[in-house]
Structure 1
Amino acid sequence: MSISYEEFRSAIHDGARRRALLFRDGRPYFVLLSQQFSREELEAMCDTATAIRRLDRHRDGREFLLGILRGQRVMNLFAQPSTRTAQSFIAGADKLGATSTLVSDIQTSSFAKGESIADSVRTLSSFFDAIVVRHPDDEFATQAAWALHGSARPVPVISAGSGKSQHVTQALLDLYTLNYSFHERGGVDGKHIAIVGDIARNRAARSLALVLTKFNPAAIHFISPGDFAPGDELTDYLRRHEITVEIHDELEPWLRERGREVDAIYMTRLQKEWDAGGEAGQPKQHANTSELGADDAYVLRSEYRLLVREDCVIMHPLPRINELPNEWEQHPGFVVWRQVRNGMWMRAALFATINGAAGEIVARAQRLGLL
């Protein structure tokens, strides 16, 4: 049945209707929104990521994984600069035996000739079994999914970052990192989680907050300059889902008062590349990194280690500029590099889930005594 783009877009933002469009055979097919998954599905993907991680260290397990997606091809269409995310998707697909192609300059593609998104992704679906897209336009991934939803050859579309809107797979790997870090402390439920920095424009920060609505954290604390505080749309959504939200505009006083109770601090940089000056929806280019750094008031200074517990988890979606000094790497709860590697495992788990192989992977890990 045909559906207009406006109807498709409206439906996926309606919790009662989105599942029919974004899932097939009970599995995710189009991955566009952080809030599209249930808690059970999120926990299952975390379990699959752990199974893949452990199988990869086992000789027979590694050979088994390489057969999961053997013969499949993944197109990574990245119209925004990315190293970690693109290579993470490529590595995740590679772990399961798929081959990947990366297009990182759309000026060399038919987009530069004015080809529509619909025609472009339909063409790509002729050659690839999944399309991963990253674009500065908030709507690009949704338009790609809509075009393929009504086509004769649909393939999964996975958003790898949509403008300033969402970064779904970053939220998945961040959740996995939190679960891993809280494994012996009851998981995410009951935890105080602080998100610091540019909440208004940081899609990773907002996506994590949306994923957390599927759990029961004690509270989400947003600490940011007033101009970059979370918008009402986000905070109202969180509160409708019974999440306690606290908003603060100063980091040091909050840490001095509440630092010992916080369980995780998620640092973000000030995203000045989105300041006025970009063209055609592209982020503004800056001459040097000093233009991009956070103000001192939103830097997690090394001396703040005295204000938090040693088991406080320290995360950052990267890249970092000055807001998370290197001295924090000596903190027992610093997990940023684990967080990076978890991106590969979680994206592999997502590919496996989309392809209906998650149960087989977990079962094989159990038979080998790895879980």
Structure 2
Amino acid sequence: MTKGMSYEEFKSSLRDSAARKQVLRSRGRPFHVLLSQQFGRSDIESLCDTATAIRRLDRHREGRGFLRGVLSGQRIMHLFSQPSTRTAQSFLAAADKLGANSRTVTDLSTSSFAKGESVEDAVRTLSSFFDAIVVRHHEDEFATRAAWALLRSHRPIPVISAGSGRSQHVTQSLLDVYTLRYSFAERGGIDGKTVLIIGDISRNRAARSLAYLMTKFDQPRVYFVSPREFVPERDLVQYIEKHGIEVRIHETIESMLREHGRQIDAIYVTRLQQEWDTGGAPTELGSSDPYILKTQYRELIRPDCVVMHPLPRVNELPDQWEEHPGFVVWRQVRNGMWIRAAIFAMVHGADEEIRARARRLELIP
């Protein structure tokens, strides 16, 4: 069925839950990683458990040796056409933890794309040499088109989106949920929690991906602070509300925190992404006053309120916040490596083996 599917039919299938499973899963597990919506609660729990198993095995002498053999002989292409430090290095470190070999292309002007090669031909060529492709691209549909092309080929390999234009950043949202799960481990988990997301939501792929993923939990609340021109798109709000989740939107951080600050369990700060605007010099890329999480706002929230940021940050989250007990940004960064290693294990069918070894060594329940 999928081999004869047109690209428009493939894109359409991604909007339907049942159809998504047909095109993005294989043998009962996620294969291509493109959207937050494709993951069910059981997928998320399994990924988080695998990430924890990898993290603990990596600290164990026997466990570390075992991990290095999990993907030994596998080759992973990291195709990054957008500037990236954390995401690229996180994926590379994750592959290395599991013993995979990595290659990276960052300058597409030195590749056949500069000669006009199509996405379809390029990824089918790469699939001859590699066992998975990680893609970060400025075009919204690059990863989607790559996955479609490979599903129609004789050698389909997983495509993992590392950020697609202004669309989604699914692996970022997965590491964010892993960080929330860790942070709320002694407070009943993510269910029922209130998460505040700050930024230009309509064009911030990390913010939107996290909002989509929150719908997989029981009765959370998702609040937003955003400039009026970049409020969450109606489709996103409707999707969240369809899952019975309360949504609130304010135009300033101060008004939100003065009204709801004590009930907020986590604040997810993002910068205003002025690089998408025309004009603005680099020195003007900071957030304006209503979207800076000022240090005096600490008195409006609880000490156990989790504070996160996907990075890079400019001025929107002052350094003084690192003194806040709930500040977990640097743990969040490191968790990116663990969750991306878990994703590699999942798409290659090695996650159950990893959890089994960790249980045998009494590293996880």
How do residues 1-371 of structure 1 correspond to structure 2 at under 5 angstroms?
1-276=3-278, 287-288=281-282, 290-371=283-364
User: More displaced, 212-221 or 166-175?
Assistant: 212-221
User: More displaced, 250-259 or 192-201?
Assistant: 250-259
Measure the CA separation in 2 of the matches of 1:55 and 1:141.
31
Q: Are the counterparts in 2 of residues 192 and 217 from structure 1 also a CA contact under 8 Å?
A: no
Cα deviation code 1:66-107 (max 9, x no counterpart): 110000010000111101101111100100000111111111
Measure the CA separation in 1 of the matches of 2:284 and 2:87.
23
Cα deviation code 1:22-61 (max 9, x no counterpart): 0010111111111101101101100000000000000100
The ranges of structure 1 where at least 4 consecutive aligned residues each deviate by more than 6 angstroms after the TM superposition are none
Instruction: Give aligned pairs, total.
Output: 362
What are the ranges of 5 or more consecutive residues in structure 2 without an aligned counterpart? none
Structure 1 length as normaliser, TM-score? 0.96
CA drift at 1:257:
2.2
Measure the CA separation in 1 of the matches of 2:153 and 2:317.
46
Q: Are the counterparts in 2 of residues 131 and 157 from structure 1 also a CA contact under 8 Å?
A: yes
User: SS at the partner of 1:183?
Assistant: coil
CA drift at 1:276:
3.1
User: SS at the partner of 1:46?
Assistant: helix
Q: Which amino acid aligns with 1:358?
A: D
Measure the CA separation in 2 of the matches of 1:8 and 1:220.
30
CA drift at 1:323:
0.3
What are the ranges of 5 or more consecutive residues in structure 1 without an aligned counterpart? 278-285
Measure the CA separation in 2 of the matches of 1:158 and 1:317.
18
Measure the CA separation in 1 of the matches of 2:238 and 2:284.
32
CA drift at 1:217:
4.0
The CA RMSD measured in Å over matched residues stands at 1.0
Q: Are the counterparts in 2 of residues 92 and 348 from structure 1 also a CA contact under 8 Å?
A: yes
What percent identity do the matched residue pairs reach? 66
Measure the CA separation in 2 of the matches of 1:363 and 1:16.
30
Q: Are the counterparts in 2 of residues 188 and 217 from structure 1 also a CA contact under 8 Å?
A: no
Q: Are the counterparts in 2 of residues 73 and 130 from structure 1 also a CA contact under 8 Å?
A: yes
CA drift at 1:222:
0.5
Measure the CA separation in 1 of the matches of 2:143 and 2:244.
29
